[in-house]
């Protein structure tokens, strides 16, 4: 047997780690070269990693839900046609000596049989004898994590009745939740007193875990400042209303306010390049092109696909490009390049009715802008008259290492003037 270590491949400079979402192949199963091996969730996109070889998967080294740095070993495979090195050939020689215990949380030996991870399969993919599986589960029940111990105590569960599905037969929080959901608890154990209501625990999806880590990193590393400006978009609303029916008939795509905002933001970033930069250990890295990230809410969570070269696109091109990316995000068909290379993020919190928000910067970018809900407000105009206008707030969070308040103020003022210059006579479409 020629064992080969499979590593999580590097997929881009900005992607440093991924969450193992799902193993597509079980230990003992044969796989062809380029067949899907594992599904990985990064902070950019969900992707399937193909097998680099043809052969048999011997065991997985990381479990589903684990966060793994790019380049770390994730599996062992018996590769077809490969010649084992002398050290492996010698190790494969039958021996009567029992295997030595392996330190670390990933795997261990129980009654001289190696556990291979959450599938509960040994070499060749065959299930272990029931007695050995029971021994593994019994051993696993004695090594409860603090979270599992707390859940067991809260629900008054006899841990000996739980069947562990984690690595080495360990009991996971999902095992406890499944046991509770299966019906009345057949337990004689007295629950430990717990102050206050018992919370329900919702398991983290790989995307939710990635979003949490990414947002925490942003707030931890970036000294963020916030600013807001109000914009009169009465002319923009009138222009969109006048053009909407013709546009949607001619290009078969909805005309929302997003492409107008994307166009204005991209043009203003070219005039205010510090907002399109990013902090670098050696200085401030300037970007020559606007790769505009557009925040999209999906059933799985927030995804930010990128419109590359947005400064060179007109409103119609931006509308079509944004519509295609949003559809791909919501159907899970984004490609890795669709979420890489963003230099600035635009978010439309106004679609949810928000009028003021403080967005978190999409690390490592320098700023993020939100367009808020368009609402009618009384406004004092020239001559001190009070009129009802359609107003929208623009809110921005920016990296104070890259930009000062003056830079942010000039950028917001430029956005305001560009928005308010649009009226029914404009020729944007």
Q: What CATH number is given to the structural domain containing 233?
A: 3.30.559.10
pLDDT at 185: 47
pLDDT at 15: 72
Q: How far is CA 184 from CA 171, 193, 269, in A?
A: 19, 19, 60
pLDDT at 10: 80
**DSSP tag of 125:** G
- Domains contained in the chain, number: 1
Q: Average pLDDT in the 100-113 region?
A: 33
The domain in which residue 230 lies consists of: 222-420
Q: Minimal CA–CA distance to 55: which of 74, 75, 71?
A: 75
Instruction: Tell me if 260 is assigned to some domain.
Output: yes
Pairing of strands 367-371, 344-347: parallel
Instruction: Tell me if 338 is assigned to some domain.
Output: yes
Binning pLDDT at 50, 70 and 90, where does residue 174 land? confident
Q: How far apart are CA 52 and CA 33, in angstroms?
A: 6
More confident residue, 405 or 196: 405
Binning pLDDT at 50, 70 and 90, where does residue 282 land? confident
Q: How far apart are CA 287 and CA 223, in angstroms?
A: 20
Q: Minimal CA–CA distance to 143: which of 120, 179, 175?
A: 175
- Check pLDDT > 50 for residue 106: no
Beta-strand ranges (E) seen in 152-289 are 224-232, 278-280, 283-285
Catalytic sites, residue numbers = 400, 404
Q: Average pLDDT in the 144-165 region?
A: 76
Averaged confidence pLDDT in the chain: 82
pLDDT at 48: 83
Instruction: Tell me if 267 is assigned to some domain.
Output: yes
Q: Please give the structure tokens belonging to residue 281.
A: 């250990």
Instruction: Tell me if 393 is assigned to some domain.
Output: yes
Beta-strand ranges (E) seen in 155-272 are 224-232
Spell out the residues 6+ positions from residue 351 whose beta carbon is closer than 8 angstroms to its own.
Answer: 373
Locate tokens 């909805």: which residue?
254
Binning pLDDT at 50, 70 and 90, where does residue 12 land? low
Instruction: Tell me if 258 is assigned to some domain.
Output: yes
pLDDT at 14: 61
Instruction: Tell me if 5 is assigned to some domain.
Output: no
Q: Average pLDDT in the 303-323 region?
A: 97
CB 143 within 8 A of CB 164: no
pLDDT at 82: 66
- Check pLDDT > 90 for residue 67: no
Instruction: Tell me if 106 is assigned to some domain.
Output: no
Instruction: Tell me if 240 is assigned to some domain.
Output: yes
The pTM assigned to this predicted structure is: 0.64
Which range of 10-19, 60-69, 93-102, 310-319 scores highest in mean pLDDT? It is: 310-319
pLDDT at 187: 43
Which range of 58-67, 81-90, 107-116 scores highest in mean pLDDT? It is: 58-67
């Amino acid at each position: 047997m020629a064992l080969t270590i499979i590593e999580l491949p590097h997929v881009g400079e900005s992607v440093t780690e991924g969450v193992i979402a799902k193993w597509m192949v079980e230990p003992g199963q044969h796989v062809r070269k380029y067949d899907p091996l594992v599904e990985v969730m990064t902070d950019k996109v969900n992707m399937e990693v193909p097998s680099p070889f043809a052969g048999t998967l011997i065991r997985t080294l990381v479990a589903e839900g684990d966060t793994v740095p790019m380049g770390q070993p994730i599996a062992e495979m018996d590769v077809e046609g490969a010649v084992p090195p002398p050290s492996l050939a010698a190790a494969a020689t039958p021996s009567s000596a029992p295997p030595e215990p392996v330190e670390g949380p990933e795997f261990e030996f129980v009654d001289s049989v190696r556990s291979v991870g959450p599938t509960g399969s040994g070499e060749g993919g065959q299930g272990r004898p029931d007695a050995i599986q029971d021994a593994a589960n019994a051993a696993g029940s004695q090594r409860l994590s603090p979270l599992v111990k707390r859940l067991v105590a809260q629900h008054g569960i006899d841990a000996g009745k739980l069947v562990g599905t984690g690595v080495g037969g360990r009991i996971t929080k999902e095992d406890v939740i499944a046991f509770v959901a299966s019906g009345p608890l057949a337990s004689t154990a007295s629950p430990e007193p717990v102050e206050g209501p018992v919370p329900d625990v919702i398991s983290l999806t790989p995307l939710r875990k990635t979003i949490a880590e990414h947002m925490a990193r942003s707030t931890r590393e970036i000294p963020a400042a916030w600013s807001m400006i109000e914009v009169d978009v009465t002319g923009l609303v009138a222009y969109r209303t006048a053009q909407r029916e013709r546009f949607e008939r001619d290009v078969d795509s909805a005309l929302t306010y997003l492409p107008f905002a994307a166009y204005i933001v991209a043009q203003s970033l070219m005039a205010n390049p510090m907002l399109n930069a990013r902090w670098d250990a050696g200085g401030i890295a300037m970007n020559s092109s606007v790769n505009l990230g557009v925040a999209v809410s999906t059933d799985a969570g927030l995804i930010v696909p990128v419109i590359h070269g947005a400064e060179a696109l007109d409103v119609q091109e931006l509308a079509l490009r944004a519509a295609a990316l949003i559809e791909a995000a919501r159907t899970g068909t984004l490609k890795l390049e669709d979420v890489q290379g963003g230099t600035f993020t635009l978010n439309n919190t106004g679609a949810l009715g928000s009028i003021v928000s403080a967005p978190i910067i999409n690390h490592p970018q320098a700023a993020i802008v939100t367009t808020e809900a368009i609402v009618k407000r009384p406004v004092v105009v020239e001559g001190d008259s009070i009129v009802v206008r359609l107003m929208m707030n623009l809110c921005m969070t920016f990296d104070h290492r890259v930009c000062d308040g003056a830079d942010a103020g000039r950028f917001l003022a430029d956005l305001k003037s560009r928005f308010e210059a649009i009226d029914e006579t404009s020729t944007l479409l």
